[in-house]
Amino acid sequence: MMQETRIALRFVGKYNPDSIEEFCALGGYEGLRKAVEMGQKNLIQEVSDASLWGYGGAAFPTGRKWSVVAATKGKQKYVVCDADEGEPGTNKDRVIMTGDPHSLLEGMAIAGFAVGADMGYIYLRYEYPQLFPVLEKAIDDARKAGYLGRNLFGSKFCFDVKVVSGGGAYVCGEETALLESIEGKRGEPRYKPPYPSEAGLFGCPTVINNVETLAIVPSIVLNGGNWYASIGIGHHHGTKVFTLSGNLVNRGVYEYPRGITLRQLIEDVGGGCPDGHRLLGVQTGGASGNIISVDMIDFPMDVEDCAAAGATFGTGDIMVFDDTQDVLEIVENLLEFFTHESCGKCTPCREGNTRLLQLIRKIRRGDGTMEDLDTLQDLCQTMKDCSLCGLGQASPTPVISTLKNFRNVYLNKIERGGKE
Amino acid sequence: MQEESCQTSVDLSRIAAIAGRYKDEPDQLMRILLEIQSCCGNSIPREAATVISSVTGIPEAKIWGYITFYAMFSDKPRGKYIIRMCKSAPCHIVGAQAVAQAISEYLGIAPGETTEDGMFTLEYCECIGMCDTAPAIMINDSVHSGLTPESAVELIKSYQQGGAE
C-alpha cells in the first residue's frame, strides 16, 4: 500500500486525546502561538498560499473565505465548525475528532484570530454522542492551559469554544441550515444572500469551516503555505482524507496527496473487491455524488479533474460496489435517503425527490417506459436549477449519472419488463 | 450518570427545571430537549412544549415545530433502548438488510415498534458515520459496527441480560 501523507490526521493515534500535555509535547498549540505572533494579514496570506480548500464538500478557498469575514465589520463575529458529518460514505471527521480533538480546537482558534472572532461553535452531529464529552474535556483542558480564554499568549486575542449537538438532520450540513439549528430553530436553509460571511450566526459575520479543513490549519501555520501547496502530486496542491467504503478489502480512512488516482485508491489502497468479485462502479464525493462505471476510474482525485471525468470530489467519499450489486437498487436507496432528509422548505426538492423515488421504483418493478427516462432527466434538471440549497440541487446526481453511465441497466429493465 | 426517570407520569416541574437552567440561551434548545427526552422514557410529551415555552418565552408552536423536525426526537413513547439500524448506502451494500431482518425477527417487532416489555424500540436511521466498518447500528448512545446477522442478535441478547439485572 502507498505511504500515507498525514496532515489532517497528523496526530491521530499519536497521543491520548485525554491528555493536553501529550498533545503539547508533540508541538500542539505552537501553530496558534505562531499565528498570533505573525498577525492577521500574514496568517491569511499563508492559508491562501496553501491552496487550502473547504473539505466539507463545497471546495471553497479557505483563505478567501477568511479574508472576507476579516474585512467585514462587526462587533461580534463567530467561527463555526461544521462537524455535522452526515454524508453517507464519509466518516473522516469522526476519526479526526476521536483521535485528535486538540488540533481541531487549535485550528478554530487560529481561524478566530484570522477573522477577528472571539467565539467558536462546534456543531456536532447527534450520531456522534461519544464525542461530546471528548470535545468538552479538550475545551476544558485547553482553557486551563491558557490556549482558550482571554488574552491568549499575552495578546489582546480572546477565544472560546462551545459544542452544540445536532438532532439527526442531514440538511444541517448545509451551512445556513446549520446556523438556524444552532440558533434553536428548525434546520431549514436560508435564502442567500446575505451570505454567512456578512450575516451568519445570530446575524453576525461568521466563518464556517469543516473539521478536516480546520485540523490542517495548524500545520500550515507552522510549516508555511507553500509547504502544504507543494505536497500534492504533479500540479495538485495539498492532501485529502478519503473514506473508502463498500465492497473493498481495506475499507477505512486514509490521507493522501491530492492527485492520487481513483484507481490507485481503489486497487492499491482499498485492495480491490473482496472474494474475487469484479468492480462494477463507484460513487465518489458522497450520497449526492456521481456514480461512475469501472472503465472511468483513471483520473487524479482533485476538484477539477473529478468534474472533468464526470465524478465528484465532494467530501472525499469513495463508495465502491462490485458485480453482485444492482445499480438501480443503490439509486433507490439513495433516493430514499434524500426523500427522508429533504427539509421540505422548497418544492423542487420536497416533491422532486419523492417523484424520482416513485419513478425509480416503477422502473425497478418492470413497469417503466422510455418516456419515464425523459421524465427523470427533465425532473432532475428542474431540481438542479430550482432547489433552494445544495441538497435538492445535488440529490438528482446519482440519477443523472446512472442514466448516462449505466443506461443499459435502465433499458434492460424497461425492455424486458424486469425479467432477467 | 442515569437521569431520574419521569416516565410513568409526566413530571412537569422537572421539565421546567431543565428548561430553566438554560433560560435566555437560544443555542441550548437542543440540549434542553435531549435532556428532557432522556428523562421522559426516550420521548418528549406534548405538554413539554407548553412548559418550555412558559419558562423560556419561545413560542410553543416553534418548540413543537423544532421537536417534530429533528429525527432523533419522538413524541411517541419508546422503549428503554432505541435500536437505530443504519440503512444508508454504504451499510446497505454490505448487508445491512440481513442484519436488520435478523434483529427484527429475534425481537418479533417491525421497525417503528416497541417490544411488549418496553425494553427495545426498533428504528431505521440514516448514516451514523461508521461507513468504513459497516454495517452498523446504534443502541441508545452506543455504536456497534462490523455486524453480521448472528453477531447483531448476540449483541441484543447482551443488552437483554444486562437489562435484567
Q: Is the per-residue pLDDT at A417 higher than 80?
A: no
- Angle between helix axes A407-415 and A370-386 (nearest 10 degrees) is 140
CATH entry, B81-163, from 3.40.50.720, 3.40.30.10, 3.30.70.1350, 3.30.70.2740:
3.40.30.10
pLDDT tens by residue, A260-310: 999 999 999 999 999 999 999 999 999 999 999 999 999 999 999 999 999
pLDDT for position B8:
46
Q: Residue A94: pLDDT band by 50, 70, 90 thresholds?
A: very high
Q: Which residue of A has its CA nearest to B141?
A: A129
Which residues numbered 103-142 in A keep a CB inside 8 Å of some CB on B?
121, 125-130
Domains of chain A plus CATH, in order, are 20-229 (3.40.50.11540), 239-322 (3.10.20.600), 327-415 (1.20.1440.230)
Neighbours of B57 (CB within 10 A): 9
Q: Is the per-residue pLDDT at A244 higher than 70?
A: yes
How close does chain A come to B161, measured CA to CA in Å?
Answer: 23
Closest CA to B138 of B164, B100, B94, B98: B100
- How high is the mean pLDDT of chain A? 97
Q: Is the per-residue pLDDT at A142 higher than 70?
A: yes
Q: Which residue of B has its CA nearest to A339?
A: B126
Q: Residue A93: pLDDT band by 50, 70, 90 thresholds?
A: very high
Q: Is B134 near chain A, with CB under 8 Å? A: yes
Contact state of B127 with A86 under an 8 Å Cβ cutoff = yes
How close does chain B come to A355, measured CA to CA in Å?
Answer: 19
pLDDT for position B139:
97
Q: Residue B11: pLDDT band by 50, 70, 90 thresholds?
A: confident
What interface predicted TM-score (ipTM) does this complex get?
0.94
pLDDT tens by residue, A153-180: 999 999 999 999 999 999 999 999 999 9
Q: Is the per-residue pLDDT at B165 higher than 80?
A: no
Contacts of A129 in chain B (CB under 8 A): 141
In chain B, residues under CATH classification 3.40.30.10 are 81-163
Tell me the C-alpha to C-alpha distance, in Å, between residue B6 and each of A5, A237, B13, B18, B115. 51, 56, 10, 13, 20
pLDDT tens by residue, B24-68: 898 999 999 999 999 898 999 999 999 999 999 999 999 999 999
Asked if residues B87 and B124 have their Cβ atoms less than 8 Å apart, the reply is yes
Q: Is A184 near chain B, with CB under 8 Å? A: yes
Q: Is B116 near chain A, with CB under 8 Å? A: no
pLDDT for position B164:
40
pLDDT for position A1:
73
Residues 6+ apart with CB under 8 A from A342: A171, A349, A350, A353, A391, A392, A395
Contact state of B28 with A91 under an 8 Å Cβ cutoff = no
Residues 6+ apart with CB under 8 A from A327: A280, A281, A291, A321, A402, A406, A409
- How high is the mean pLDDT of chain B? 91
